[in-house]
Structure 1
Amino acid sequence: MDTDLNRSRTARAGGGWRSSASRTIALGAALLAAGCTFTLTPPERPAVSALPPPAAVNSATLDQYRAAVAQRIAERNPSYVLQGMPQAMLRSLVVVSFTVDRDGRVLQSAVYRTNGDDEAESTALATLRRAAPLPQPPEKLLNGRGQLELFEDWLFNDNGKFQLRELASPQAQTIN
């Protein structure tokens, strides 16, 4: 039924591409019969880019920026950063959402997900504030307001020290 409907629409619209191709061939034959010479030039094909698609470029750039932000947080808060392997059963996982402007200023931050550990939540937010201003984000990552929204995970051991997921070592496999 749909096929018949499409054929009917095509016929009413002037025959579609087949009709157009037939007219071109007929015109070419008429010009040849009249002794005219002509050249058919095929349409240009779009150039194939050797660059990766924009999403791939932005993804790689975003990963690099996230690593730079995590490095800045760790550098500005050395006494809170866990050195070595996180324990098998973490004390807390705090996910923080935050918005950065084009100058690296943290405009907004909030705990996005937590297990209810108030001390770990406070530490995560405080260490983010102490790291500001963060590195300037690449222009192509900014939204229409000149901002970038990010998430980072703070992984806390029982001693209150953390690693950021972006930089974290593999966790221990056994509970001591």
Structure 2
Amino acid sequence: MISDLSRTRSARAGGAWRFAALGAVLALSGCAFTLTPPGQPAGTALPPPAAVNSATLDQYRAAVAQRIAERNPSYVLQGTPQAMLRSLVVVSFTVDRDGRVLQSKVFRTNGDDEAESTALATLRRASPLPQPPAKLLNGRGQLELFEDWLFNDNGKFQLRELASPQAQTID
């Protein structure tokens, strides 16, 4: 006995295969044609989901970086980061729909324990972060992000999202 779900998947797969085969036959025969996928009205082009969310995600990442910088002014490097950074700490963190940081961890580092601690502490001090747009949330109402903390020798940092270009020469 075949379940309704199996029949539905089979019908979709068969329909997609027939649709692709028709396109191949027309292309090989030299016909000019426009394919409109089933269920989509002709003349409507939907942007891919990544394009819809990328601008919103970039805006949200900038707002998060701004909040972290605002809540930790004594740690933020003003001006140009040095050419050879002391440390780069990449932090992975998850926020809920209210902007609360649910978890955070060092994702990548050069092993500078002090820089790692500073990155995690400055993220905690910035919580709650701005509320993420609903369309960026996963099924659990959360959003996972990554941010890079760029540290100078003096222990001050810039976030990659807001960073100035680095110096070109090592002093």
Establish whether TM, by shorter chain, passes 0.5.
yes
AA aligned to 2:138 is: N
Deviation at 1:45, TM superposition (A): 7.3
Deviation at 1:53, TM superposition (A): 3.2
C-alpha separation in 2, matches of 1:147 and 1:97? 13
Question: What does residue 156 of structure 1 align with?
Answer: 151
Deviations 1:36-82 (Å, cap 9, x if unpaired)? Answer: xxxxxxxx971433664332110111111000000000000001000
C-alpha separation in 2, matches of 1:106 and 1:45? 39
AA aligned to 1:81 is: V
Question: What does residue 82 of structure 2 align with?
Answer: 87
AA aligned to 1:139 is: A
Q: RMSD value over aligned CA atoms?
A: 2.0
CA gap 1:126/1:51 in 2 versus in 1, 3 angstroms: same
Deviations 1:73-108 (Å, cap 9, x if unpaired)? Answer: 000000100001000000000000000000000000
C-alpha separation in 2, matches of 1:45 and 1:136? 33
C-alpha separation in 2, matches of 1:48 and 1:99? 39
Question: What does residue 36 of structure 2 align with?
Answer: none
Paired residue secondary structure (2:131): coil
Deviations 1:121-159 (Å, cap 9, x if unpaired)? Answer: 000000000000000000010001100000000000000
Instruction: Give the fraction of aligned pairs with identical amino acids, expressed as a percent.
Output: 92
Return the TM-score normalized by structure 1.
0.73
Question: What does residue 48 of structure 1 align with?
Answer: 43
C-alpha separation in 1, matches of 2:43 and 2:137? 27
Question: What does residue 72 of structure 1 align with?
Answer: 67
AA aligned to 1:85 is: T
Q: 2:53 aligns with which of 50, 55, 58?
A: 58
- Count residues with an aligned counterpart: 136
Paired residue secondary structure (2:118): helix
Paired residue secondary structure (1:134): coil
Question: What does residue 109 of structure 1 align with?
Answer: 104
Question: What does residue 130 of structure 2 align with?
Answer: 135
Q: Which structure has the bigger radius of gyration?
A: 1
CA gap 1:84/1:45 in 2 versus in 1, 3 angstroms: closer
C-alpha separation in 1, matches of 2:60 and 2:43? 29
Paired residue secondary structure (2:70): helix
